[in-house]
Each structure stands twice: as C-alpha cells, then as structure tokens.
C-alpha cells in the first residue's frame, strides 16, 4: 500500500488515513470494536484492509467500558484510539467517512468477486470482500427529558453500568415484556427499585414475583423525566402530576441497525422479538450474500464490547480463509490474485 496521508478528522483528534487506490482485499464498514478487531486480524494476515468509520460510536455518551477484562473502566474513545493505532501498525488504514453506497461490481478477470464502496464526499474504493460492522442506534421512548441523561443516569445494560449505580433508587421504564426480566437484574443491584409499566402489560404472575422481591409497580404513565437544579436526574413525573424520586432509570431502548448506504448489498434482516432488527448471519458472521460478512451489534444486538470484538476477529479470520482459497484458484488459472 502507498504512503498514508493523515488528517485530524476523528472527534478525539486522531487522524484519518487517505483512501487506498486500486483494489483492496477487504473494506470494513464501521470502526467500532467489531470492525477494528476484524481489521486487525486481516492486517496481521498481510491483507490490504481499509476501515470506513463515520466517527459516531454508539457508546460515545458512556464514561467508560465495563465488563471487559484488562480494559475495564477505560473510556470508549480511548479503546477506539488504541484500536485504530494497532490496525495501522500492521499496514491497515482507518478512513473517516460515511458510506452512501455499497454494491457488487464487475468481477475480476479470474471471476473473483468485486464490490464498489462510495462515500458521502464522492470518494470510492473497490474491494474483494466486505465486513459490515456498522453497529446500531438506540431508539429511546419519546419521554421529555429522557435523552438528556442517556449514558449517564439513564442506562440500559446492568453489566455495562450496573456496579456504578448500585444502591441507588432505580426506576425501570418498561418498553415491553423484555423489561420484566430486566427488572430482576437491576433488583440484584439495589433494594429500592420501582417498575413503571408505562402502558405495557404486566401479568399477575410477574406482579406476584415483583412483590416477592420488593419491587414497587406503578401503572400511571410517565410524562416527563425531572432534573434537579444541578441538572442531575431527580425522578419522573406521572400523568397525574405526582413526581416519583429516582436517581437512575433503566430503559431497554428499541435497537435499530445502521443500514444506511448498504441497501445495494441486499443483506437479509432478521427480527428479534422485543429488541429490534439486525442483519442475519451464520457462523463467523457469514451472510447469504457471497463476499459479505457481518459482525458485532449489526447482527448480535445485545453483544457487549468484548463479544463484538471477538465476533470481528472470527469474521476477519473467515474472510482471510476465503481469500486464500480465491488466491489459490487464481494461481491455478495463472492469474494474479489481485
């Protein structure tokens, strides 16, 4: 690969590489844990790999990543910064950009696959294989004041944030049946837990189980999240005007995959009840679309950072395996695998 030209375009001040010319082995769409770890595996296998990263990670509001051995407590931005550096250490590139189109292109002379990936600024690149690691977006309930506290006092994952909110007065703002199980996980962290049904159904068996664990149930709808004079979360206002004091709200948001610009790949989508929709994939992230793999939250909606990184590594290894086969097929035909 040619000399890299870098410009400070990422939010943390780290540079963006120039887009590679010619055809590369792999384009990774998405520069989170899954995408960077997949790129790392590929770069260490001496594959030419380019990561396209929009610079808008899902966990940006969080102060730290937790539940990840050796990196517990590390800010998300620092993990990504280190990841980009490590990919570059082995010759990979990380390019700041937004993909607006990714679609199959004419195959090479030996019949190997080709794809064309185009960015919002008009730049484009040809690649032999694609790894989609775009992640997802959390769609919060439309409750005024809720989004302002997202990632701080409004949390979703008891394993990612639970220890930090232990022993606080916690409220679970229900978004569907899946919130019932969510409540029992947060009950492990505090004795002061209130479940706001917020228009969702709560069967009698679940009410009895909540009562046995000392979980208070409020059926009156929540109309607003209330902050104190310092801007901290203070509680929720109900439809009858009552304010219930809470310091933390646990909310399972609807999960929406980031699929913009990927329509041309025709990736199949699967529904996960009460959670959202993700790209369908099989072992090691392989999809029904030849030459395209998926890893991380784009296919496993509830994967934490460690699981997403592991999935990226598996996908990267499988892509390298398939490219090795394609290289050998080309060699048998007396053609360059490039």
Q: What is the mean pLDDT of the chain?
A: 92
The band of 338, judged by pLDDT with boundaries at 50, 70 and 90, is low
What pLDDT was estimated at residue 1? 43
Lowest mean pLDDT among 155-159, 217-221, 321-325: 155-159
Q: Tell me, which fold does domain 141-251 have in CATH?
A: FAD/NAD(P)-binding domain (3.50.50)
The per-residue pLDDT for range 131-178, each reduced to its tens digit, is 999 999 888 999 999 999 998 999 999 999 899 999 999 999 999 999
Residue pair 69/229 in contact (Cβ under 8 Å)? The answer is no
Distance from C-alpha of 126 to C-alpha of 135, rounded to nearest angstrom: 22
* Superfamily holding 7-137+254-332: FAD/NAD(P)-binding domain (3.50.50.60)
Is a pLDDT exceeding 80 seen at residue 108? yes
In sequence order, what are the beta bridge partners of 155? 250
Task: With 0.85 as the threshold, say if the pTM is over it.
Answer: yes
Q: How many residues does the chain have?
A: 338
Higher-pLDDT residue of 8 and 24 is: 24
Backbone angles phi, psi at 161, to 5 degrees: -130, -5
- The structure tokens listed for 290 are 């030849």
Domain with CATH 3.50.50.60 in the chain: 7-137+254-332, 141-251
Taking only the tens place, the pLDDT of each residue in 238-254 is 999 999 999 999 999 88
| pLDDT tens string 269-283 | 988 765 678 899 999
**Residue 159: per-residue pLDDT:** 92
Beta carbons of 293 and 318 less than 8 angstroms apart? yes
The pLDDT tens digits of the residues spanning 20-65 come to 989 999 999 999 999 999 999 999 999 999 999 998 888 777 888 9
Q: DSSP secondary-structure letter at 240? A: T
> Torsion angle, CA of 24/25/28/32, rounded to 10 degrees?
-110
Contacts of 33 (CB under 8 A, 6+ apart): 79, 83, 296, 305, 306, 308, 309, 312
Confidence of residue 3 (pLDDT cuts 50, 70, 90): very low
pLDDT at 94 over 60: yes
């Amino acid at each position: 690969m040619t000399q890299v030209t870098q410009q400070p375009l990422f939010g943390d001040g780290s540079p963006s590489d120039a887009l590679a010319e010619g055809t590369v082995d792999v384009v990774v769409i998405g520069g989170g844990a899954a995408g960077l770890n997949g790129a790392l595996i590929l770069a260490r296998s001496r594959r030419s790999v380019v990561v396209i990263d929009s610079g808008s990670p899902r966990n940006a509001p969080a102060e730290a990543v937790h539940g990840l051995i050796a990196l517990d407590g590390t800010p998300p931005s620092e993990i990504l910064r280190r990841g980009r550096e490590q990919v570059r250490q082995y010759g990979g590139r990380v390019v700041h950009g937004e993909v607006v189109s990714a679609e199959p292109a004419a195959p090479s002379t030996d019949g190997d696959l080709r794809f064309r990936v185009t960015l919002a600024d008009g730049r484009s690149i040809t690649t032999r294989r694609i790894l989609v690691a775009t992640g997802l977006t959390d769609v919060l309930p439309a409750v005024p004041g809720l989004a302002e506290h997202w990632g701080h006092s409004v949390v979703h994952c008891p394993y990612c944030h639970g220890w930090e909110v232990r022993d606080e007065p916690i409220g679970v703002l229900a978004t569907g049946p899946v919130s019932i199980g969510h409540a029992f996980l947060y009950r492990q962290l505090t004795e002061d837990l209130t479940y706001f049904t917020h228009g969702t159904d709560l069967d009698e068996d679940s009410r009895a189980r909540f009562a046995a664990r000392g979980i208070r149930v409020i059926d009156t709808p929540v109309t607003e999240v209330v902050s104190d004079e310092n801007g901290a979360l203070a509680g929720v206002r109900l439809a009858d005007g009552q304010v219930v004091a809470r310091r933390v709200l646990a909310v399972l948001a609807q999960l929406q995959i980031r699929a913009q610009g990927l329509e041309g790949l025709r990736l199949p989508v699967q529904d996960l009840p009460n959670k959202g929709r993700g790209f369908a994939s099989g072992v090691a992230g392989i999809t029904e679309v030849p030459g395209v793999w998926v890893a991380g939250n784009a296919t496993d909606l509830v994967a934490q950072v460690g699981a997403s990184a592991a999935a990226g590594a598996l996908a990267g290894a499988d892509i390298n395996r398939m490219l090795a086969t394609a290289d050998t097929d080309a060699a048998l035909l007396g053609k360059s695998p490039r």
